Amino acid sequence: MKEAYIVTSLRTPGCRRKKGALAQTRPEDLVKTVLNALIEQTPGVEKKDVEDILLGCAFPEAEQGLNIGRVMAQMCGFPDETCGATVNRFCSSGLEAIALQAMRIKSGWCDVAIGGGIESMSIVPMGGNMPRPHPEWAKENPDVYISMGITAENVANRYSISREMQDEFAYHSQMKASNAKKNKLYKEIVPTPASKYIEKNGEWVNETFIQDFDDGIRETTTAEGLAKLRPAFAATGSVTAGNSSQTTDGAAVSLVMSEEAVKKFGVKPIAKIKYYTVAGCKADEMGVGPAYAIPKLLKMAGMKVEDINIFEVNEAFASQAIYCLQQLGMYDKRELWESTSDKRIVNVNGGAIALGHPLGCTGAKLCAQIMNEMQERGAKYGVESMCIGGGMGAAALFELCD
């Protein structure tokens, strides 16, 4: 089987739903920014060289519907020969798109492709505009449609993840992200044109500005402030807005190539995509997915947790992230994730609690982040993983190129 390489990996900032800088920017425009930047930042490669574009999207409808993968190929000026499709595996959609392109390359079916993700949670609401659960099935097994917040409460209750543990984890996520923002460590971010509609002289006018940072990071977060927040999903619960991921808008893409293409175009790849897998779990505790997916991934690779130099484990909720780290034997080793530790290897620049979770984009967003982090730290092996609505986990293993 051939090798598949990530050559370039970029993302827009992640900005808060409704209140953030990208709330009035159409999802197509977000993708257009990163797709064009991807080609511009890969000297020697032109749009005509790309065979296919796969975009992950959790709710592919309205402005991000109509097969946005193909729409974007056309909108960005790729030739008619460049195909496109949309991929949906909810929270891992973006990683799924990248992995599918890697598998096509590994099989010899393709040489140059793009995988990525998009989600405008400001424009297309979570659940979509017209959710229609099957009425009989919902009575028999409603868990497949359960609120993600309730699944986080289930994890906290079933596995004794206390409010204090969740708030502490959330605090460190914010502090890691604050440090990264202050020291300009998010080198994978593409400055993104953003729209803001304002009223002037009785008319609505679109004013454009450049957004170049994640606007959900809360640098002034304190443990005391987090402790004052009310439960968000259950009256006596422990899951709050402060220890949950932010709902955000964003897009991210990666250029994936075969070894033959890497040599042909004379590019220097970042990393090999070695393995990818998914694993199922109970729908009403979907957050535990990485605790199943990561061991399955490592078994495929013949590796152990100790062999991995850096992890990006999506923080959908602090409760599920903590549980997954416990199962991997990493939570109690506090130096592996605390913001004050220079030995940290888990979500080293903050996670979704601080940076946001733009659903179908998240898998591609985390890929861009871990590519940057692996390069900066010289980390040989990196694992990206996330839980998935409906009861699944996904995980991918990357190997840094020399």
CB atoms within 10 A of CB 51: 19
Helices (H), 258-301: 259-265, 289-301
Question: Which residues make beta-bridge pairs with 16?
Answer: 248
Question: Do 323 and 165 form a contact (C-beta atoms < 8 A)?
Answer: no
Question: For the CA atoms of 336, 246, 239, 347, what is the dihedral angle to 10 degrees?
Answer: -10
Q: Is 329 left (phi over 0), alpha (psi -120 to 50) or beta?
A: left
Quote the CA–CA distance of 358 and 217 in Å, as a whole number: 14
- For residue 171, what is the enclosing H or E element? helix 163-182
Question: Do 14 and 8 form a contact (C-beta atoms < 8 A)?
Answer: no
Catalytic residue among 91, 281, 324, 361: 91
83 is catalytic: no
CB atoms within 10 A of CB 260: 13
Quote the CA–CA distance of 83 and 93 in Å, as a whole number: 18
> Token pair 């975009």 is at which residue?
55
281 is catalytic: no
172 is catalytic: no
Catalytic residue among 172, 357, 361, 367: 357
Catalytic residues: 91, 357, 387
